[in-house]
Amino acid sequence: MEGQIEATSPELPVQDDGASPTRGPPCIIDWSDRLERAAADMRRAIIVLVFGDHPPVTPDDIKAIMAARFSLNLVSLEAKQAGEDTMFFVVVDTEETAARLVDSRPSIGSSGPRLHLRQWMRQAFDSSAFLPNLVDVELRGVPTHAWEMTTAENLLNPYGWPQLLHPSTRNRDDYSVFRLSTWCFRPNSIPGMHDLHVVEPSIGVIDTPPGKPTLVYPITISVKPAIFPQASNNSSPSEGDEDPERRRPRRRPRREDSSNVPPSTPTGEGVP
């Protein structure tokens, strides 16, 4: 339309030399209530693998085959592609139905493709690992309006997983340093400096080039081994009776309801 400015981002060149993509650093995300709910919903899900010589099948085809072979209500089924042409997720009406289908394992029909059914679980496509080192981290230069655990998560990812805020940080007693404990792969891989970009509020519906405006805050990062408080002699068992499990740091909830944080900050914000 006349008078309307059409803003487009510059097209980035794409190089395809046939080589495998370079693996970047790990990405760490926290277990959350949202993941908990999603995993609970997927307990009604079945992984369906399709075998044999057959024309390509679609999610609707899988729904029809499942309904016919296992006497299921077609309307109650939900089928989704699961990353490969021969792999699907099928969600049934109840967990009991899912368990019955997996236990019965009938996979060959009079016609059509052969199916293999597996119960969905979050460990189905993973490999196990762990973050071996617990360290204390100090972030200097964090702006007061971004004094949140999510800010530390973004600054420390992909190098570590923040576990617990220091009391002075949680209570906002000292804005000069943001202290927390963090699990990480290699402490020496955490960089000593970062530029924190805080995106500015949008003006209008859509920001137009030359780009999205940000405010930049230089952050310095220091890392040292975590120090655990010593238990009192009255509460600790004798050296010979001590349970080794007691020496292991326990994971504590690191997100707190803002209503439980004392309103000691001039902004009235709580620390998540």
Distances (CA, A) of 57 to 50, 108, 215, 271: 9, 16, 50, 50
Residue pair 164/147 in contact by the 8 Å Cβ criterion: no
Domain boundaries, the chain: 38-119, 133-226
Q: For 9-33, how does the pLDDT look when each residue is reduced to its tens digit (9 = 90+)? A: 556 565 666 677 777 677 777 788 8
Looking at per-residue pLDDT, the higher value among 34 and 251 belongs to 34
pTM score above 0.85: no
Look up residue 82 and give its two tokens. 């699961």
User: Which residues have C-beta within 8 Å of that of residue 214, sequence separation ≥ 6?
Assistant: 197, 198, 199, 200
Look up residue 64 and give its two tokens. 């029809």
To the question of domain 38-119 being in CATH 3.40.1440.10, the answer is: no
Q: For 107-122, how does the pLDDT look when each residue is reduced to its tens digit (9 = 90+)? A: 555 566 888 888 888 7
Secondary structure class of 219 (helix, strand, coil): strand
Residue 180 sits at φ, ψ, to 5 deg, of: -165, 160
Looking at per-residue pLDDT, the higher value among 66 and 231 belongs to 66
Look up residue 144 and give its two tokens. 């007061």
Looking at per-residue pLDDT, the higher value among 154 and 257 belongs to 154
| pLDDT at res. 135 | 95
**13-22, 125-134, 199-208: which is most confident:** 125-134
Residue 89 sits at φ, ψ, to 5 deg, of: -100, 130
| pLDDT at res. 261 | 40
> Which residue, 202, 163, 197, 167, is CA-closest to 183?
163
Mean pLDDT (the chain) is 76
Q: Which helix (H) or strand (E) holds 154?
A: helix 149-156
Residue 202 sits at φ, ψ, to 5 deg, of: -70, 145
CA–CA separation, 32 vs 43, rounded Å?
Answer: 17
When pLDDT is cut at 50, 70 and 90, the band that residue 100 belongs to is confident
